């Protein structure tokens, strides 16, 4: 039996509890800024488009800075908050997030939500990439030229909330697997796609604890959803 399995058996004998994302913290929408506000120096900021093209699971520095003159109008993610994208041209990546691990606050675009919470931020960020999480979000996404989701919609997604030590162990496993995958991946497209598929399967397997016939069992009430 693996260390993780032993921890789950010991600490969660009735299964891992699932909670709505909106129940584990607060979701706050960012404030709008435009490209004319960009500057080489100024206030660190995260633009929603960068969550698709630039950021990964975590970040401690930003690609973008905005004019200090508009700083007082902005809303900010604090260290360990999650920045979640709420709009885009396609629905597949809406809802992904980046754990902000910088030492100072960062301004957030209004097409994103700031999740303030008390869990391991990297654990949450990994969850926001899983197939189950995105499957839940789809019914709350409004489609059009630009697809979007409300804070309430994001907050409806059920996610696993194991004890902190289990969260930390899963993050360690996924970080190690991510590093190994990066080392093994070659420039060949087929190899890259295979490694990505293996990684996604491993991540989703670690983060789906108590699914039985596509039903989520919550340990606090032993009820099925």
The stretch 61-72 carries a mean pLDDT of 97
What pLDDT is recorded for position 93?
A: 84
Q: Residues 110, 77: contact at Cβ < 8 Å?
A: no
C-alpha to C-alpha distance for 55 and 57, rounded to whole angstroms? 7
**CA nearest neighbour of 77 among 116, 110, 21:** 116
Helix, strand, coil share of the chain (percent; to 5): 40, 25, 35
Ordered by start, the domain boundaries in the chain are 3-224
Q: Which letter does DSSP use for residue 150 in this model? A: -
pLDDT digits (tens, 9 = 90+) for 128-161: 999 999 999 999 999 988 999 999 999 999 999 9
Mean pLDDT of the chain: 86
In CATH terms, the fold of domain 3-224 is Adenine-n6-DNA-methyltransferase TaqI; Chain A, domain 2 (3.90.220)
């Amino acid at each position: 039996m693996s260390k993780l399995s032993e921890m789950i058996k010991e600490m969660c004998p009735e299964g891992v509890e699932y909670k709505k994302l909106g129940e584990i913290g607060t979701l706050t929408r960012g404030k709008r800024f435009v490209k004319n506000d960009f500057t080489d120096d100024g206030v660190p900021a995260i633009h929603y488009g960068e969550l698709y093209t630039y950021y990964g699971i975590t970040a401690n520095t930003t690609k973008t800075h905005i004019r200090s003159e508009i700083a007082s109008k902005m809303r900010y993610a604090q260290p360990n908050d999650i920045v979640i994208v709420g709009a885009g041209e396609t629905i597949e990546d809406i809802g992904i997030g980046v754990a902000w691990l910088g030492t100072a606050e960062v301004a957030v675009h209004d097409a994103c939500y700031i999740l303030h919470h008390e869990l391991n931020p990297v654990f949450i960020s990994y969850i926001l990439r899983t197939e189950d999480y995105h499957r839940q979000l789809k019914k709350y996404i409004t489609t059009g030229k630009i697809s979007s989701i409300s804070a309430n919609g994001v907050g409806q997604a059920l996610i696993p909330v194991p004890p902190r030590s289990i969260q930390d162990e899963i993050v360690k496993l996924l970080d190690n697997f991510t590093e190994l995958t990066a080392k093994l991946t070659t420039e060949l497209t087929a190899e890259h796609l295979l490694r990505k598929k293996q990684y996604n399967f491993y991540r989703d397997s670690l983060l789906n604890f108590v699914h039985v016939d596509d039903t989520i069992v919550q340990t606090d009430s032993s009820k099925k959803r």
